[in-house]
A = this chain, B = another copy of it.
């Protein structure tokens, strides 16, 4: 793993340009710049020029949109390996923040062509990642538009477990607030639904309520519809 500089202060914008990554290896990985993000630190904001795109190295990043009155929708949580922040136009269409301390690699958008030419594997990874993002968005629209609270939570837990390569246990990287804004619910409904799941034996809640055991995956999958 390459050395990474800690961002100067929490909530400050990390200065990408100032932190050069290690020299590019001639094989495999293309050059990128490593960035460390503190919890809730903003990587980029909606409307900002989309100079870079990113890949998560460790931790979790959320991308979200805001309504004028503060209502928030979290488009996606990005886990290690995920690529995000590529845009059709010159500006970012959503903002990105670290859910908890995280490390990301930044790549210049302008060097996209060169990157994919010199590192075809990276290019494929990038394209498939983009299409996967689109697929996730489409699946998520079904969830947001047509599922009820129980189904939303069940889908969310199963999906997260799978993406974290876990069989029957999830260590939530994000808090209730983020889950609510991702699923189109309120924090109270998220909490209530989880405790109801626990009461009826579908899951088991543990220490600090961030650790969840998927006790009855069959029942959860049934809710997943």
Contacts and interface: CB of A to CB of B under 8 A. Distances in A.
Q: Is the contact region of chain A dominated by helix, strand, or loop, or is it mixed? A: helix
A73 B144 CA distance: 9
A2 interface: no
Number of this chain's copies in the complex: 2
Given A88-B128, A88-B135, A134-B134, A145 B184 contact: yes
Nearest to A145: B184
A146 interface: yes
A68 B223 CA distance: 11
Interface string A80-120: 00000011100001100000000000000000000000000
A138 B88 contact: no
B93 A132 contact: no
A184 B87 CA distance: 26
Interface residues of A, number: 35
Contacts of A68: 225
A54 B135 CA distance: 17
A166 B65 CA distance: 27
Q: Which of A128, A142, A144 has most chain B Cβ within 10 Å?
A: A142
Contacts of A144: 141, 144-145, 184
A183 interface: yes
Please name the 3 residue pairs, one residue from A and one from B, whose CB atoms are nearest each other, closest first: A88-B131, A145-B184, A144-B144
Interface of A: 65, 67-69, 71-73, 75, 86-88, 93-94, 128, 130-135, 137-142, 144-147, 181-184, 225
